[in-house]
Homo-oligomer: A and B are copies of this chain.
Amino acid sequence: MATSGGSFASPIPNDPVHSVRRFNRFYTRQIGVLQEHLLHSQFSLTEVRVLYELAHRKQLTAGELCQDLGLDPGYLSRMLQNFLSHGWITTAPSRQDRRKVFLALTAKGRKVLAPLEQRSSDEVSAILSRLSPVQQGKLLSAIHDVESVLTLSQQVSAPYVLRPHRPGDMGWVVQRHGALYWQEYGYDERFEALVAGIVAEFIEKLDPARERCWIAEKDGENVGSVFLVKKSQSVAKLRLLLVEPSARGLGIGKRLVAECIRFAREARYKKIMLWTQSELAAARHLYQSAGFELVAKEKHRSWRRKDLIAEIWELKF
């Protein structure tokens, strides 16, 4: 493995971020050295990754490869045709969906991959063999710790995705607004009816170029929503921001608001306005952080509540 620059015996900074970033640079170099033999193979790194996946998974389609390896479909298509022409893979059309083909490595394909796999193993083996048993155990234990800590952390707080709305979401938005605002703030079913009217109008009059709904999804479940709707040609409205309690603290709300703002700018609105209640502290904080300004307040009695203060916030571009 390539030697890292400078003496390792120098004092380790206490800053964990610095330590992790330095480790990342260090390990990038290790991986670079290990992969160097691939640069001298007949395959590019990406080709090796594709062959590797084909060797280790069954019933694989091109679409899945694109998804999992982050590849351009056109690029992969050409790569697979090249592999086919060399006889390294076979294709079998899916019976369920004749657009899809299942890909598999042939014996010949395994044969061309085998030396690369062997070489990769040999290089790691060489590294390990330079370590004493004690040092080797220390290394293996450490990489196991790194992997387990990070993997478990990711499982605990798996990332969420924002996606456009799809059938079923509107009902969910209405249902969850109704339930949560009742639970958390005591707003009665008239609030839920208001939400239902908002989403009905959104769907009935949707202008996709200038209006959108985002749903936050985590582990296959909806956990948040926000809408941007057109108030006028130059003014947009941000509505129905909601994050499930179980998904709070992950930055979902902030991200939903940011997406709204981004889209509104793209759509060349001059302003976003929104109507909220003074007691929705978390939401108000998000708006404030995003640059919205409070421009109006008004006391009102609604949804079986007698003490509400409505607020209007605006963000000018």
- Contact of A20 with B128 at beta-carbon distance under 8 Å, contacts A28-B31, A31-B28 already known: yes
* A281: Cβ under 8 A from any B Cβ: no
Given B1, B19, B136, which contacts A143 in the complex, CB threshold below 8 Å?
A: B19
Q: Return the chain B residue nearest A23 by Cβ.
A: B143
Q: Check A151–B31 contact: CB distance below 8 A.
A: no
- Contact of A144 with B19 at beta-carbon distance under 8 Å, contacts A151-B3, A151-B4 already known: yes
Contacts of A3 in B (CB 8 A): 151, 154-155, 158-159
Q: A300 → chain B, closest Cβ, in Å?
A: 39
Q: Check A147–B17 contact: CB distance below 8 A.
A: no
Q: Check B128–A139 contact: CB distance below 8 A.
A: no
Comparing A119-127, A179-187, A270-278, the segment that makes contact with chain B is A119-127
* A43: Cβ under 8 A from any B Cβ: no
- Contact of A1 with B154 at beta-carbon distance under 8 Å, contacts A120-B21, A125-B17 already known: yes
* A131: Cβ under 8 A from any B Cβ: yes
Contacts of A23 in B (CB 8 A): 143-144, 146-147
Q: Return the chain B residue nearest A52 by Cβ.
A: B25
Contacts of A4 in B (CB 8 A): 147, 151, 154
* A46: Cβ under 8 A from any B Cβ: no
* A16: Cβ under 8 A from any B Cβ: yes
* A141: Cβ under 8 A from any B Cβ: yes
Q: Return the chain B residue nearest A36 by Cβ.
A: B70
Q: Check B150–A1 contact: CB distance below 8 A.
A: yes
Q: A143 → chain B, closest Cβ, in Å?
A: 4
Q: Check B135–A142 contact: CB distance below 8 A.
A: no
A3-B155, A3-B158, A21-B124 known, 12 other contacts, Cβ within 8 Å: A16-B136, A20-B124, A20-B128, A20-B140, A23-B143, A23-B147, A24-B30, A26-B151, A139-B146, A142-B142, A142-B145, A142-B146
Which A residues form the contact surface with B (CB < 8 A)?
1-5, 8, 12, 16-17, 19-24, 26-28, 30-31, 34, 68, 120-121, 124-125, 127-128, 130-131, 135-136, 138-159
- Chosen A-B contacts, 21 in total, with CB atoms closer than 8 Å, are A1-B153, A8-B147, A12-B144, A16-B136, A17-B125, A17-B128, A19-B140, A19-B144, A21-B120, A23-B143, A23-B147, A24-B34, A27-B27, A28-B31, A30-B150, A31-B31, A138-B145, A138-B149, A142-B142, A142-B146, A142-B149
